[in-house]
């Protein structure tokens, strides 16, 4: 055990500068994916609950395809598909792929939250002279967003961990750098244990921030 601890400390001290830079890349790609996924999620959630059968079909097809196929396959497919049309760096291709993937799950979160709002409030809004768009923007969506925060927080944490898969298209984030370090040092166990600690710290920080935000919402709403 002491030998392992010594080796771990040596790996940590040798790699911490590179891993800190890679952690920043992980956070950037996660943030972009979350923003894109939230935008896609809201759009497709509204499409799914709309009165248009065409929009509902498009939303259902998107959600079914994304949720029914592995993320790593989607990353490869979108990477080669996007870069064959538009010249993008592997970073942006990976971020877009993650955003598209998360959009399907976030769409279901918003759909459930919107449909969970008391139907009477929608009817009361229409009775007050609002149209459906105004009722959604002013009354329904703010309440839905509040109830969607916990599952959205879980999805955001999943996105942070899923960002490790963009290493397959050459993005040097935490897991991609760990792969290179493990191969170069012939210390895979120690290297991946160290990178696992980086992910754990990021997840704990993210979880704490989400908890603070939820508590603030509860205080403001009480």
Distant-in-sequence, close-in-space partners of 222: CB < 8 Å, separation ≥ 6: none
Q: What is the pLDDT of residue 160?
A: 95
Structural domain boundaries in the chain: 2-221
Q: What is the pLDDT of residue 1?
A: 54
Kindly report, residue by residue over 11-60, the tens digit of the pLDDT: 878 888 999 999 999 999 999 999 999 999 999 999 999 989 999 999 99
pLDDT at 128 over 80: no
pLDDT at 220 over 70: no
Among 69, 72, 71, 93, which Cα is nearest to 83's? 93
Kindly report, residue by residue over 180-212, the tens digit of the pLDDT: 999 888 888 889 999 999 999 999 998 998 888
Question: Do residues 76 and 169 make contact, with C-beta atoms less than 8 angstroms apart?
Answer: yes
Separation between Cα atoms, residue 126 and residue 11, nearest integer Å: 63
CATH of 2-221, one of 2.30.40.10, 2.40.30.10, 1.10.3720.10, 1.10.730.10: 1.10.3720.10
pLDDT at 111 over 80: yes
For CA atoms 67, 102, 147, 145, the dihedral sign is: negative
């Amino acid at each position: 055990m002491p030998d392992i601890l010594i080796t771990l400390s040596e790996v940590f001290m040798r790699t911490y500068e590179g891993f800190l830079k890679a952690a920043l890349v992980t956070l950037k790609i996660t943030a972009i994916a979350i923003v894109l996924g939230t935008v896609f999620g809201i759009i497709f959630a509204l499409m799914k609950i709309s009165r248009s059968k065409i929009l509902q079909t498009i939303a259902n097809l998107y959600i079914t395809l994304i949720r029914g196929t592995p993320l790593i396959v989607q990353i490869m497919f979108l990477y080669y598909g996007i870069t064959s049309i538009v010249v993008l760096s592997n970073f942006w291709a990976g971020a877009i792929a993650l955003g598209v993937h998360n959009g399907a799950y976030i769409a279901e979160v918003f759909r459930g939250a919107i449909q969970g709002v008391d139907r009477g409030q929608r009817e009361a809004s229409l009775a007050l002279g609002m149209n459906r768009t105004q009722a959604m923007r002013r009354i329904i969506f703010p309440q839905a967003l509040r109830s969607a925060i916990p599952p959205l927080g879980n999805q955001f944490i999943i996105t942070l961990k899923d960002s490790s898969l963009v290493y397959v298209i050459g993005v040097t984030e935490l897991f991609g750098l760990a792969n290179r370090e493990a191969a170069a040092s012939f210390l895979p166990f120690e290297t991946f244990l160290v990178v696992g600690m980086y992910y754990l710290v990021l997840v704990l920080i993210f979880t704490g921030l989400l908890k603070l935000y939820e508590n603030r919402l509860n205080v403001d709403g009480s």
